[in-house]
Amino acid sequence: MKKKTGLGYQIYLCFDYIYSALVTLWGVFSHTFTKADTVQYPDEQPHLHPRFRGRIVLTKDPSGEERCVACNLCASACPTDCISLQKTEDESGRWLAEYFRINFSRCVYCGLCEEACPTYAIQLTPDFEMAEYERQNMVYEKEHLLIDGPGKQPGYSFYEFSGKAVSGRQKGEGINEAQPVDVKSLLP
């Protein structure tokens, strides 16, 4: 396109700039009459929704057992590599974390661990007040993380569906679970 030059066009541009500046000024000025969005935080707590991504917790299933099966998916999903854990088993055959450690001074509260978790064990909460005086205190161990409750997924228990024999419940006894195939039988 041919570049427009010439005095007339320049004057038009001047007026165009002034007009747009005035529109902007009026637009900002009209905000005098709108309400401020600021929340006076310490005095007045902000309303945080359940899905707010704050402090990370480890939940328990309705039976009061730990949900975490130490599958390491959360650790591998974590972009800042702030989660570390080690798997172990109890005598009933349940998998669980020997230790589970989150370094909150690295955590960016992205929520990818929550998405990766197959057992709804790891969850983010609307709590954000985590200030500490010492940096070391930002490292949370399993006992700091565990809460007594199912969190955002009440009533869900992984082992009810998992098909693994734990705590005296044999295979095929879980919810919606078929009996295991008897490989020695010829029946279909």
Partner 1 sequence: MTPVMANILNVVCILVFVVFGAAMLTWVERRILGIWQDRLGPNRVGPGGTLQIVADMIKLLMKEDWVPAFSDKFVFVIAPTIAMFVVVAAFAVIPIAPGIGVVDLNVGLLFFLAMTSLGVYAVMFGAYASDNKYALIGGIRAAAQMVSYEVFMGLSLMGVVMLAGTFDLRQVVLSQQDGWYIFPQFIGAFIFLIAGIAESHRTPFDLPEAEHELTAGFHTEYSGMKFAMFFIGEYVSVLMTSAMITVLFLGGWLGPDFAPPLFWFLLKTIILVFFMILVRGSLPRPRYDQLMSFGWKCMLPLSLVNLVVTGALVLL
Interface with partner 1 (CB under 8 A): 14, 21, 24-25, 27-29, 31-32, 34-38, 40
Q: How far is the CB of 66 from partner 1 (least distance, A)?
A: 44
Q: How far is the CB of 8 from partner 1 (least distance, A)?
A: 14
Give dist(CA 163, CA 23) in Å, integer: 66
Q: How far is the CB of 23 from partner 1 (least distance, A)?
A: 9
Give dist(CA 87, CA 110) in Å, integer: 24
Q: How far is the CB of 59 from partner 1 (least distance, A)?
A: 37
Closest to partner 1 by CB, 34 or 176: 34
Residue pair 121/83 in contact (Cβ under 8 Å)? The answer is no
Tokens 């929704």, residue?
Answer: 49
Closest to partner 1 by CB, 13 or 108: 13
Tokens 């509260």, residue?
Answer: 109
Closest to partner 1 by CB, 41 or 133: 41
Give dist(CA 15, CA 140) in Å, integer: 61
